[in-house]
Amino acid sequence: MSCLKELNSKTQKNGRDISAVYSSENYGHLHGMRTWDVNTDSGDQTHFSMSGVMQRCSGGEYSREAGASRPDHHCTNHRIYPSHNYTQPSLPQNILTAHGDFIPQSSPGHFMSPTPSLHNNNHLSSLGGHWLSEGLVHCNMTSGEIFDAVASICPDNLDEHRQKTHRKLEALTELMPQHQMDINQSVNVYLQPLAHKLGENATVMCSMNGQGQMVSVNHCSPGQMLHSQPPGHLDSSPEALCYDSSSKENLEQSYSIGSQSHLPSVSLPAIWPNHSFLCPNQQASPDPPGSGYSYNQMSRAYFSQYCQYPEYPDTLSLVPEGQSTSVVRLNESMWDSKSKKPCNCTKSQCLKLYCDCFANGDVCRNCNCINCCNNTEHELERYKAVKICLDRNPEAFRPKICNGKLGEIKGRHNKGCNCKRSGCLKNYCECYEAKIMCSSTCKCVGCRNYNGSPERRAMLWESPDTTFYKNAKCDKDKCPLSCITLDVVEATCGCLLAQAEEAEKEGYTLRQAEKMILEEFGQCLTQIVLSIFKSTSL
């Protein structure tokens, strides 16, 4: 029986390393590339492939242009039309259009040269001088192509923008060259679409607010309505799809998705506050039925290394390939200053791993630090600091506490602690602080943070949080029952259910069904016991 095989597989894995049980095999990967059309009415066309980094404006970013009568002072406005299935309406010139179709990577985008009217300040001009300012949005476009493209569109302040942007790009490229390629393969950063005008699989929208939150909606189905209005106030205008990413409130509203509110959502980290990336081949995890959103989170700094650590697929989830619609956004709780403990750094400028904010990939906000450079005003310094840390230790931003074997509720410390005086029973100890027991990877002296320790037992049972003790893993991985994990229990239940269904399908009597289920349970137990024997050499 296949489920028995699965159970066997799981129990075998549980003996040592079960982290791969929830593999990606059931979930698709995001891949493919999308291109943009930047249209003007000049008629000239230049083909180019957009791969690399593109910038957006600060403050407003990609906001809605609510018709011709709604100027937006601080945002670059974009109208986006699909290249197919849609006839561009009669609108003012110089509209940035795009289509979000998944296009084979070899397919070029089309760039149509601009007209002089692009340079005016008419709010209907889709590209203004702020196009190249702050906040990186990554897409398949090289920096040179960006400059050339943007230069032809909005030469205003180009030199200044070029210099500023080039410095950032240099730092960025230097910092993570290997990820540039990843980005090029997984364009998921797109402008605001007019969703309901796009054909099936045509809508892609993705952007970030000033806090690095990435939001995207992919593959909207025809008729799906995305709106920026509160429920009940759906804007029926073609420009209804919008957001002002400088506003968290608007951001939330913008992604109130009409009848699709059940759509899954996943969170994406950003390496830096204004930068987000999507890696290809990220694994997706399904949402619990009925849940509106699911959030996973990981260190933003660590995200740049994400693709190097497939053993942590659960830290990031994306919508499975083929799913018609998805919402991708950064978990805002990651940026919730209320939930983040403020640091008190005085000498490190919050650019060393001494600083918890920096180490966690956060920027300092509402902290008590002095001479802080861990903020958006010191991006370059921050880039360099991240690079230094990664050069010194490529896993510097890797979460210290990783998922342990299944059944280990809290996991284990990657490096282990080195405590000498605290007995690992004070918060000086990172294991203790993370509410996990010390493991064989620790090099601590006089450790009392292990299962069965008298001090620990007394302390934990005195504590209101006795689940810490109850859920903790066995001492130093030597408990033979440690392989009976939730996963194994789940698999066992699955086998029993499958047997019950089979009995029902075959029309067996209740007694016969009970017998079948009990026999199945016996086989499951046999597999578990055999696995225990194997893993413990009993």
Partner DNA sequence: GAGTTTGAAACT
Partner DNA sequence: CAGTTTCAAACTC
The piece of 183-191, 347-355, 456-464, 530-538 that touches DNA (CB under 7 A) is 347-355
Here's the x/- map for DNA, 388-427, by CB under 7 A: it reads as -x--xx--x---x--------------x-xxxxxx-x-xx
Q: Tokens representing 484? A: 């009976």
CB of 410 to DNA, least distance (A): 16
Q: Report the distance separating Cα 171 and Cα 189, nearest Å.
A: 20
| Residues 423 and 454 sit within 8 Å (Cβ to Cβ) | no
Q: Report the distance separating Cα 218 and Cα 203, nearest Å.
A: 5
Nearer to DNA, 188 or 422 (CB): 422
Q: Does 16 bind DNA (CB under 7 A)?
A: no
CA 359 to chain centre: 18
φ/ψ of 408, rounded to 5, equals: -85, 110
Q: Which helix (H) or strand (E) holds 137?
A: strand 136-140
Q: Report the distance separating Cα 136 and Cα 54, nearest Å.
A: 6
Q: Does 430 bind DNA (CB under 7 A)?
A: yes
The piece of 175-183, 205-213, 319-327, 350-358 that touches DNA (CB under 7 A) is 350-358
CB of 176 to DNA, least distance (A): 18
CB of 151 to DNA, least distance (A): 39
CB of 407 to DNA, least distance (A): 25
CB of 382 to DNA, least distance (A): 13
φ/ψ of 103, rounded to 5, equals: -120, 140
Q: Does 428 bind DNA (CB under 7 A)?
A: yes
Nearer to DNA, 109 or 423 (CB): 423
CB of 400 to DNA, least distance (A): 7
The piece of 25-33, 348-356, 478-486, 497-505 that touches DNA (CB under 7 A) is 348-356
Nearer to DNA, 420 or 534 (CB): 420
Q: Does 365 bind DNA (CB under 7 A)?
A: no
Nearer to DNA, 416 or 494 (CB): 416
Q: Tokens representing 227? A: 């709106």
Q: Report the distance separating Cα 12 and Cα 7, nearest Å.
A: 8
Q: Are strands 37-38 and 109-111 parallel, antiparallel or unpaired?
A: parallel
The piece of 3-11, 77-85, 344-352, 466-474 that touches DNA (CB under 7 A) is 344-352
Q: Does 356 bind DNA (CB under 7 A)?
A: yes
Q: Report the distance separating Cα 348 and Cα 346, nearest Å.
A: 6
Nearer to DNA, 119 or 352 (CB): 352
Here's the x/- map for DNA, 288-327, by CB under 7 A: it reads as ----------------------------------------
Interacting residue with DNA among 18, 124, 345, 503 (CB under 7 A): 345
Among 35, 218, 43, 61, which residue's Cα sits nearest to residue 113? Answer: 43
CB of 377 to DNA, least distance (A): 18
Among 37, 56, 368, which residue's Cα sits nearest to residue 202? Answer: 37
Q: Report the distance separating Cα 111 and Cα 147, nearest Å.
A: 13
CB of 374 to DNA, least distance (A): 10
Q: Which residues between 109 and 138 bind DNA (CB under 7 A)?
A: none
C-alpha distances in angstroms, 95 versus 37, 42, 147, 189? 10, 11, 19, 18
Q: Does 355 bind DNA (CB under 7 A)?
A: yes
Which stretches does DSSP call E strand in 1-104?
Answer: 33-34, 37-38, 46-48, 51-55, 62-63, 76-77, 102-103
Interacting residue with DNA among 91, 103, 225, 353 (CB under 7 A): 353
Residues in the chain: 538
Q: Does 384 bind DNA (CB under 7 A)?
A: no
| Residues 319 and 296 sit within 8 Å (Cβ to Cβ) | no
Number of residues in contact with DNA under rule CB under 7 A: 32
- Output DSSP code: residue 175: H
CB of 442 to DNA, least distance (A): 8
Residue 393: what residue type? N
Angle 486-506/510-536 helices, nearest 10 degrees? 150
Here's the x/- map for DNA, 141-180, by CB under 7 A: it reads as ----------------------------------------
Q: Report the distance separating Cα 197 and Cα 165, nearest Å.
A: 33
CB of 446 to DNA, least distance (A): 9
Does residue 47 sit in helix, strand or coil? Answer: strand
Binding residues for DNA, rule: CB under 7 A, are 343-348, 350, 352-356, 359, 389, 392-393, 396, 400, 415, 417-422, 424, 426-430, 433
